[in-house]
Amino acid sequence: MTSRITFEQHPHPSPRPSADRDAVLAAPGFGRHFTDHMVTIDWSTEHGWHNARVEPYAPFAMDPANMTLHYGQAIFEGLKAYAQPDRTAALFRPEANARRFQRSARRLAMPELPVETFIEACELLVRHDEAWVPHGAEQALYLRPFMFAAENTLGVRPAAAYRFMVIATPAGAYFSGGVNPVSVWVSEQYVRAAPGGTGAAKCAGNYAASLIAQAEAADHGCDQVVWLDARERRWIEEVGVMNLCFVYGSGGDATIVTPQLTDTLLAGVTRDSLLTIADELGYRTCETRISLQDWQSGCANGSISEVFACGTAAVITPVGQAKTSGAGWTVGDGRPGPVSLRLRDALLRRQTGLEADLHGWLHPCV
Ligand SMILES: *Cc1c(COP(=O)(O)O)cnc(C)c1O
Protein backbone atom coordinates (compact mmCIF):
# COMPACT_ATOMS: atom_id res chain seq x y z
CA MET A 1 0.00 0.00 0.00
CA THR A 2 1.40 3.40 -0.91
CA SER A 3 0.41 6.28 1.30
CA ARG A 4 0.43 9.28 -1.00
CA ILE A 5 1.32 12.51 0.65
CA THR A 6 -1.22 15.34 0.43
CA PHE A 7 -0.02 18.86 -0.30
CA GLU A 8 -1.66 21.80 1.43
CA GLN A 9 -2.04 24.61 -1.07
CA HIS A 10 -1.70 28.23 -0.02
CA PRO A 11 -1.70 30.37 -3.18
CA HIS A 12 0.10 33.70 -2.92
CA PRO A 13 -2.39 36.41 -1.88
CA SER A 14 -0.59 39.01 -3.98
CA PRO A 15 1.53 37.47 -6.75
CA ARG A 16 3.90 39.69 -8.74
CA PRO A 17 1.88 41.99 -11.05
CA SER A 18 2.02 40.78 -14.65
CA ALA A 19 3.88 43.90 -15.79
CA ASP A 20 6.70 43.15 -13.28
CA ARG A 21 6.73 39.52 -14.27
CA ASP A 22 6.86 40.33 -17.98
CA ALA A 23 9.80 42.65 -17.35
CA VAL A 24 11.66 39.78 -15.64
CA LEU A 25 10.74 37.30 -18.37
CA ALA A 26 12.01 39.67 -21.05
CA ALA A 27 15.57 39.25 -19.71
CA PRO A 28 15.56 36.62 -16.95
CA GLY A 29 19.26 35.77 -16.80
CA PHE A 30 19.73 32.74 -14.57
CA GLY A 31 18.91 32.24 -10.90
CA ARG A 32 18.36 35.90 -10.15
CA HIS A 33 14.57 36.06 -10.00
CA PHE A 34 12.32 33.58 -8.27
CA THR A 35 8.66 32.79 -8.84
CA ASP A 36 5.79 33.51 -6.45
CA HIS A 37 5.65 30.09 -4.81
CA MET A 38 7.79 27.36 -3.27
CA VAL A 39 7.16 23.79 -2.16
CA THR A 40 8.29 22.41 1.19
CA ILE A 41 8.09 18.92 2.70
CA ASP A 42 9.53 18.04 6.09
CA TRP A 43 10.96 14.75 7.23
CA SER A 44 11.68 13.47 10.69
CA THR A 45 12.58 10.06 12.07
CA GLU A 46 9.33 10.18 13.99
CA HIS A 47 6.89 11.28 11.26
CA GLY A 48 8.66 10.44 8.00
CA TRP A 49 7.63 12.79 5.16
CA HIS A 50 4.98 15.21 6.38
CA ASN A 51 3.73 18.79 6.26
CA ALA A 52 3.84 19.04 2.43
CA ARG A 53 2.79 22.44 1.19
CA VAL A 54 2.87 24.97 -1.63
CA GLU A 55 3.08 28.48 -0.27
CA PRO A 56 4.33 31.98 -1.12
CA TYR A 57 8.10 32.15 -1.74
CA ALA A 58 9.67 33.55 1.41
CA PRO A 59 12.86 33.41 3.47
CA PHE A 60 12.91 31.33 6.61
CA ALA A 61 14.84 31.50 9.85
CA MET A 62 17.65 29.04 10.49
CA ASP A 63 19.18 28.09 13.81
CA PRO A 64 22.94 28.79 13.95
CA ALA A 65 23.42 25.17 14.99
CA ASN A 66 21.60 23.85 11.91
CA MET A 67 23.66 20.82 10.92
CA THR A 68 23.78 21.74 7.21
CA LEU A 69 25.83 24.81 8.02
CA HIS A 70 28.43 22.70 9.78
CA TYR A 71 28.52 19.27 8.14
CA GLY A 72 27.01 19.92 4.75
CA GLN A 73 24.27 17.35 4.26
CA ALA A 74 22.79 19.16 1.26
CA ILE A 75 21.78 17.78 -2.15
CA PHE A 76 19.96 19.27 -5.11
CA GLU A 77 18.57 18.74 -8.57
CA GLY A 78 18.05 20.89 -11.64
CA LEU A 79 15.39 20.37 -14.28
CA LYS A 80 13.32 22.49 -16.60
CA ALA A 81 9.67 23.04 -17.51
CA TYR A 82 9.34 23.95 -21.18
CA ALA A 83 6.46 25.80 -22.82
CA GLN A 84 4.77 23.52 -25.34
CA PRO A 85 3.17 24.48 -28.67
CA ASP A 86 -0.31 24.36 -27.05
CA ARG A 87 0.88 26.89 -24.41
CA THR A 88 0.90 24.32 -21.59
CA ALA A 89 4.12 23.53 -19.71
CA ALA A 90 5.88 20.17 -19.49
CA LEU A 91 8.73 18.96 -17.30
CA PHE A 92 11.53 17.11 -19.09
CA ARG A 93 12.26 13.66 -17.64
CA PRO A 94 11.44 14.51 -14.00
CA GLU A 95 11.54 10.84 -12.99
CA ALA A 96 15.20 10.69 -14.01
CA ASN A 97 15.93 13.60 -11.68
CA ALA A 98 13.78 12.03 -8.95
CA ARG A 99 15.78 8.80 -9.12
CA ARG A 100 19.10 10.61 -9.13
CA PHE A 101 17.91 12.63 -6.12
CA GLN A 102 17.28 9.33 -4.31
CA ARG A 103 20.79 8.13 -5.17
CA SER A 104 22.29 11.40 -3.94
CA ALA A 105 20.27 11.12 -0.71
CA ARG A 106 21.47 7.56 -0.14
CA ARG A 107 25.11 8.58 -0.57
CA LEU A 108 24.75 11.40 1.95
CA ALA A 109 22.85 9.25 4.47
CA MET A 110 19.68 11.27 3.95
CA PRO A 111 16.10 9.93 3.58
CA GLU A 112 14.90 9.10 0.05
CA LEU A 113 11.92 11.09 -1.19
CA PRO A 114 9.51 8.84 -3.13
CA VAL A 115 9.81 9.41 -6.89
CA GLU A 116 6.10 10.25 -7.27
CA THR A 117 6.30 12.82 -4.46
CA PHE A 118 9.32 14.52 -6.08
CA ILE A 119 7.46 14.71 -9.40
CA GLU A 120 4.23 15.92 -7.80
CA ALA A 121 6.11 18.66 -5.94
CA CYS A 122 7.67 19.90 -9.19
CA GLU A 123 4.39 19.65 -11.05
CA LEU A 124 2.49 21.57 -8.37
CA LEU A 125 5.02 24.38 -8.38
CA VAL A 126 4.84 24.70 -12.17
CA ARG A 127 1.04 24.75 -11.98
CA HIS A 128 1.01 27.49 -9.33
CA ASP A 129 3.63 29.51 -11.23
CA GLU A 130 2.52 28.69 -14.77
CA ALA A 131 2.56 32.40 -15.65
CA TRP A 132 6.32 32.31 -15.03
CA VAL A 133 7.06 29.73 -17.71
CA PRO A 134 8.71 31.80 -20.44
CA HIS A 135 7.65 31.25 -24.05
CA GLY A 136 10.66 32.78 -25.79
CA ALA A 137 13.09 30.75 -27.88
CA GLU A 138 15.44 28.67 -25.72
CA GLN A 139 13.77 29.91 -22.54
CA ALA A 140 12.40 27.68 -19.79
CA LEU A 141 11.43 27.64 -16.14
CA TYR A 142 14.33 26.09 -14.19
CA LEU A 143 13.32 24.12 -11.12
CA ARG A 144 15.65 23.64 -8.21
CA PRO A 145 14.60 20.83 -5.86
CA PHE A 146 16.91 20.51 -2.85
CA MET A 147 17.14 18.92 0.57
CA PHE A 148 19.14 19.77 3.66
CA ALA A 149 19.50 18.76 7.30
CA ALA A 150 16.96 20.44 9.56
CA GLU A 151 18.24 19.41 12.97
CA ASN A 152 20.15 21.73 15.27
CA THR A 153 23.09 20.11 17.00
CA LEU A 154 26.84 19.91 16.64
CA GLY A 155 26.93 16.14 17.05
CA VAL A 156 28.55 14.53 14.00
CA ARG A 157 26.05 12.00 12.57
CA PRO A 158 23.24 11.98 10.02
CA ALA A 159 20.57 14.47 11.03
CA ALA A 160 17.27 13.21 12.40
CA ALA A 161 15.25 15.82 10.45
CA TYR A 162 15.40 17.19 6.90
CA ARG A 163 13.63 19.69 4.70
CA PHE A 164 12.92 19.18 1.01
CA MET A 165 12.07 22.25 -1.07
CA VAL A 166 11.49 23.25 -4.68
CA ILE A 167 11.98 26.78 -5.95
CA ALA A 168 11.86 28.01 -9.54
CA THR A 169 13.65 30.66 -11.59
CA PRO A 170 12.97 31.65 -15.19
CA ALA A 171 16.00 30.91 -17.37
CA GLY A 172 16.78 32.94 -20.44
CA ALA A 173 18.53 31.74 -23.56
CA TYR A 174 21.97 30.59 -22.41
CA PHE A 175 23.50 31.87 -25.62
CA SER A 176 21.96 35.12 -26.72
CA GLY A 177 23.15 35.86 -30.23
CA GLY A 178 24.14 32.36 -31.31
CA VAL A 179 25.88 29.41 -29.73
CA ASN A 180 29.41 30.35 -28.68
CA PRO A 181 32.17 27.84 -28.04
CA VAL A 182 33.91 27.91 -24.65
CA SER A 183 37.57 27.49 -23.82
CA VAL A 184 38.55 24.97 -21.15
CA TRP A 185 41.43 24.64 -18.70
CA VAL A 186 42.51 21.12 -17.77
CA SER A 187 43.26 21.19 -14.05
CA GLU A 188 46.17 18.95 -13.15
CA GLN A 189 46.19 20.16 -9.57
CA TYR A 190 42.61 19.81 -8.35
CA VAL A 191 40.18 16.92 -8.69
CA ARG A 192 36.38 17.03 -8.51
CA ALA A 193 35.80 13.47 -7.37
CA ALA A 194 37.73 10.47 -6.12
CA PRO A 195 36.82 6.77 -6.14
CA GLY A 196 34.59 6.04 -3.16
CA GLY A 197 33.76 9.74 -2.79
CA THR A 198 30.65 11.74 -3.61
CA GLY A 199 31.28 12.48 -7.31
CA ALA A 200 28.18 10.65 -8.50
CA ALA A 201 25.94 12.54 -6.05
CA LYS A 202 24.60 16.00 -6.78
CA CYS A 203 25.65 17.44 -3.44
CA ALA A 204 26.53 20.98 -2.45
CA GLY A 205 29.98 20.02 -1.19
CA ASN A 206 31.13 18.91 -4.66
CA TYR A 207 30.39 22.39 -5.91
CA ALA A 208 32.15 24.08 -3.01
CA ALA A 209 35.26 22.01 -3.72
CA SER A 210 35.19 22.84 -7.44
CA LEU A 211 35.14 26.61 -7.18
CA ILE A 212 38.88 27.06 -6.69
CA ALA A 213 39.61 25.13 -9.89
CA GLN A 214 37.05 27.20 -11.75
CA ALA A 215 38.94 30.27 -10.51
CA GLU A 216 42.19 28.68 -11.70
CA ALA A 217 40.64 28.23 -15.16
CA ALA A 218 39.62 31.88 -15.21
CA ASP A 219 43.17 32.90 -14.22
CA HIS A 220 44.36 31.09 -17.33
CA GLY A 221 41.84 32.88 -19.49
CA CYS A 222 39.51 29.89 -19.79
CA ASP A 223 35.74 29.68 -19.31
CA GLN A 224 35.48 26.25 -17.69
CA VAL A 225 37.60 23.65 -15.93
CA VAL A 226 38.09 20.08 -17.19
CA TRP A 227 38.35 17.40 -14.51
CA LEU A 228 40.75 14.50 -14.75
CA ASP A 229 40.50 11.29 -12.73
CA ALA A 230 41.97 11.48 -9.23
CA ARG A 231 44.21 8.39 -9.45
CA GLU A 232 46.23 8.89 -12.60
CA ARG A 233 45.33 12.44 -13.66
CA ARG A 234 45.04 10.92 -17.10
CA TRP A 235 41.38 10.19 -17.90
CA ILE A 236 38.85 12.84 -18.83
CA GLU A 237 35.86 12.97 -16.51
CA GLU A 238 33.75 16.13 -16.78
CA VAL A 239 33.88 19.82 -17.58
CA GLY A 240 32.74 22.33 -14.96
CA VAL A 241 29.35 20.98 -13.89
CA MET A 242 28.61 19.32 -17.22
CA ASN A 243 29.36 16.03 -18.95
CA LEU A 244 31.67 15.96 -21.95
CA CYS A 245 31.28 14.39 -25.40
CA PHE A 246 33.78 13.92 -28.22
CA VAL A 247 32.77 13.66 -31.87
CA TYR A 248 35.06 11.33 -33.82
CA GLY A 249 34.75 11.47 -37.62
CA SER A 250 32.19 13.69 -39.28
CA GLY A 251 28.86 13.80 -41.08
CA GLY A 252 26.79 10.61 -41.03
CA ASP A 253 29.88 8.63 -40.04
CA ALA A 254 30.38 10.47 -36.78
CA THR A 255 30.70 8.62 -33.47
CA ILE A 256 29.75 10.31 -30.21
CA VAL A 257 32.17 9.22 -27.51
CA THR A 258 31.68 10.08 -23.84
CA PRO A 259 33.43 8.97 -20.64
CA GLN A 260 31.75 5.90 -19.20
CA LEU A 261 29.90 6.36 -15.92
CA THR A 262 31.83 5.53 -12.78
CA ASP A 263 31.35 6.61 -9.18
CA THR A 264 33.36 9.74 -9.99
CA LEU A 265 31.02 10.96 -12.74
CA LEU A 266 27.65 12.62 -12.38
CA ALA A 267 25.13 10.78 -14.58
CA GLY A 268 23.64 13.69 -16.51
CA VAL A 269 20.09 13.45 -17.80
CA THR A 270 21.20 15.54 -20.80
CA ARG A 271 24.07 13.13 -21.47
CA ASP A 272 21.68 10.18 -21.40
CA SER A 273 19.09 11.94 -23.61
CA LEU A 274 21.72 12.93 -26.17
CA LEU A 275 23.09 9.38 -26.40
CA THR A 276 19.54 8.18 -27.18
CA ILE A 277 18.91 10.93 -29.73
CA ALA A 278 22.33 10.46 -31.37
CA ASP A 279 21.49 6.81 -31.85
CA GLU A 280 18.13 7.69 -33.40
CA LEU A 281 19.81 10.13 -35.78
CA GLY A 282 22.06 7.33 -36.99
CA TYR A 283 25.30 8.25 -35.21
CA ARG A 284 27.31 5.61 -33.43
CA THR A 285 27.70 6.16 -29.69
CA CYS A 286 30.34 4.86 -27.33
CA GLU A 287 30.86 5.11 -23.58
CA THR A 288 34.49 4.44 -22.78
CA ARG A 289 37.66 5.91 -21.25
CA ILE A 290 39.23 8.89 -23.04
CA SER A 291 42.62 10.17 -21.97
CA LEU A 292 43.88 13.72 -22.12
CA GLN A 293 46.47 12.40 -24.58
CA ASP A 294 43.68 10.95 -26.81
CA TRP A 295 42.01 14.33 -26.85
CA GLN A 296 45.12 16.28 -27.76
CA SER A 297 46.36 13.86 -30.42
CA GLY A 298 42.82 13.36 -31.81
CA CYS A 299 42.55 17.09 -32.41
CA ALA A 300 46.06 17.20 -33.91
CA ASN A 301 45.43 14.38 -36.38
CA GLY A 302 41.83 15.41 -37.12
CA SER A 303 40.13 12.23 -35.84
CA ILE A 304 38.26 14.31 -33.26
CA SER A 305 36.19 16.91 -35.11
CA GLU A 306 34.06 18.37 -32.30
CA VAL A 307 33.87 18.40 -28.51
CA PHE A 308 30.90 19.61 -26.49
CA ALA A 309 29.78 19.93 -22.88
CA CYS A 310 26.20 18.99 -21.99
CA GLY A 311 23.87 19.73 -19.10
CA THR A 312 20.39 21.02 -18.34
CA ALA A 313 21.34 24.70 -18.17
CA ALA A 314 22.89 25.14 -21.64
CA VAL A 315 21.85 21.82 -23.29
CA ILE A 316 25.02 21.68 -25.44
CA THR A 317 28.01 24.00 -25.20
CA PRO A 318 30.68 23.51 -27.87
CA VAL A 319 34.29 23.46 -26.66
CA GLY A 320 36.56 25.46 -28.99
CA GLN A 321 39.90 25.56 -27.19
CA ALA A 322 41.64 23.44 -24.56
CA LYS A 323 44.65 24.37 -22.46
CA THR A 324 46.89 22.59 -19.95
CA SER A 325 49.93 23.89 -18.08
CA GLY A 326 52.13 22.72 -20.96
CA ALA A 327 49.99 22.83 -24.08
CA GLY A 328 47.02 24.36 -25.83
CA TRP A 329 45.03 23.22 -28.84
CA THR A 330 42.00 24.05 -30.93
CA VAL A 331 39.12 21.64 -31.47
CA GLY A 332 38.28 21.45 -35.18
CA ASP A 333 38.27 24.99 -36.47
CA GLY A 334 37.35 26.30 -33.02
CA ARG A 335 33.78 26.98 -34.06
CA PRO A 336 30.57 25.10 -33.12
CA GLY A 337 30.48 21.92 -35.23
CA PRO A 338 27.54 20.59 -37.26
CA VAL A 339 27.05 17.43 -35.18
CA SER A 340 26.95 19.40 -31.91
CA LEU A 341 24.49 21.88 -33.35
CA ARG A 342 22.29 19.17 -34.85
CA LEU A 343 22.11 17.25 -31.57
CA ARG A 344 21.43 20.46 -29.68
CA ASP A 345 18.57 21.37 -31.99
CA ALA A 346 17.14 17.84 -31.88
CA LEU A 347 17.08 17.76 -28.07
CA LEU A 348 15.58 21.24 -27.81
CA ARG A 349 12.86 20.22 -30.27
CA ARG A 350 11.98 17.23 -28.07
CA GLN A 351 11.94 19.38 -24.96
CA THR A 352 9.69 22.01 -26.48
CA GLY A 353 7.29 19.53 -28.07
CA LEU A 354 8.19 20.34 -31.67
CA GLU A 355 9.24 16.73 -32.25
CA ALA A 356 7.38 13.52 -31.33
CA ASP A 357 7.98 12.43 -27.73
CA LEU A 358 9.09 8.88 -28.52
CA HIS A 359 10.12 7.94 -24.98
CA GLY A 360 7.56 9.61 -22.73
CA TRP A 361 10.14 12.19 -21.69
CA LEU A 362 7.65 15.06 -21.42
CA HIS A 363 5.61 15.27 -18.24
CA PRO A 364 2.64 17.65 -18.72
CA CYS A 365 1.89 19.90 -15.74
CA VAL A 366 -1.79 20.60 -16.44
C1 LIG B 1 24.09 18.41 -12.78
C2 LIG B 1 25.43 18.00 -13.28
C3 LIG B 1 25.64 17.55 -14.60
C4 LIG B 1 24.59 17.58 -15.68
O5 LIG B 1 23.44 16.85 -15.39
P6 LIG B 1 22.10 17.13 -16.19
O7 LIG B 1 21.14 16.17 -15.57
O8 LIG B 1 22.37 16.84 -17.61
O9 LIG B 1 21.75 18.56 -15.98
C10 LIG B 1 26.91 17.10 -14.93
N11 LIG B 1 27.93 17.13 -14.05
C12 LIG B 1 27.76 17.58 -12.79
C13 LIG B 1 28.92 17.58 -11.86
C14 LIG B 1 26.51 18.03 -12.37
O15 LIG B 1 26.36 18.47 -11.12
CATH 3.20.10.10 maps onto the chain at: 182-351
Q: Is the CB of 307 under 6 A from ligand 1?
A: no
Q: Length of the chain, please?
A: 366
> Side-chain half-sphere of 179: how many Cα atoms within 13 Å?
23
CATH 3.30.470.10 maps onto the chain at: 8-173
Confidence of residue 280 (pLDDT cuts 50, 70, 90): very high
Task: State pLDDT tens for residues 21-76.
Answer: 999 999 998 899 999 999 999 999 999 999 999 999 999 999 999 999 999 999 99
Q: Whose CA is nearest to atom 15 of ligand 1?
A: 241
Q: Is the CB of 266 under 6 A from ligand 1?
A: yes
Please give the distance, rounded to the nearest whole angstrom, from the Cα atom of residue 311 to the centre of ligand 1. 5
Q: Residue 2: is its pLDDT beyond 60?
A: no
Q: Which of 76, 95, 266, 277 to mutate to test the pocket of ligand 1 (most atoms within 8 A of CB)?
A: 266
Domain 8-173 has CATH 3.30.470.10: yes
Please give the distance, rounded to the nearest whole angstrom, from the Cα atom of residue 267 to the centre of ligand 1. 7
Amino acid occupying residue 157: R
Query: What integer best gives the mean pLDDT of the chain?
Result: 96
Q: Is the CB of 225 under 6 A from ligand 1?
A: no
pTM of the full structure = 0.97
Task: State pLDDT tens for residues 108-121.
Answer: 999 999 999 999 99
Q: Is the CB of 268 under 6 A from ligand 1?
A: yes
Query: 263 near 192, Cβ under 8 Å?
Result: no
For the segment 319-326, the average pLDDT, to the nearest whole number, is 96
- Where does 182-351 sit in CATH, by number? 3.20.10.10
Q: Is the CB of 270 under 6 A from ligand 1?
A: yes
Query: 203 near 193, Cβ under 8 Å?
Result: no
Q: Is the CB of 312 under 6 A from ligand 1?
A: yes
Q: Is the CB of 200 under 6 A from ligand 1?
A: no
φ, ψ dihedrals at 341, nearest 5°: -70, -35
Where b means 16+ CB within 10 Å and e means fewer, 181-203 reads bbbbbbbeebbbbeeebbbbbbb
Confidence of residue 175 (pLDDT cuts 50, 70, 90): confident
Q: Is the CB of 210 under 6 A from ligand 1?
A: no
Q: Is the CB of 16 under 6 A from ligand 1?
A: no
Please give the distance, rounded to the nearest whole angstrom, from the Cα atom of residue 64 to the centre of ligand 1. 30
Task: State pLDDT tens for residues 56-68.
Answer: 999 999 999 999 9
Lowest mean pLDDT among 10-19, 21-30, 141-150: 21-30
Q: What is the pLDDT of residue 252?
A: 86
| Packed helices 269-280 and 338-351: angle between N→C axes, nearest 10 degrees | 110
For the segment 310-336, the average pLDDT, to the nearest whole number, is 96
Q: Residue 157: is its pLDDT beyond 60?
A: yes
Q: Residue 3: is its pLDDT beyond 70?
A: no
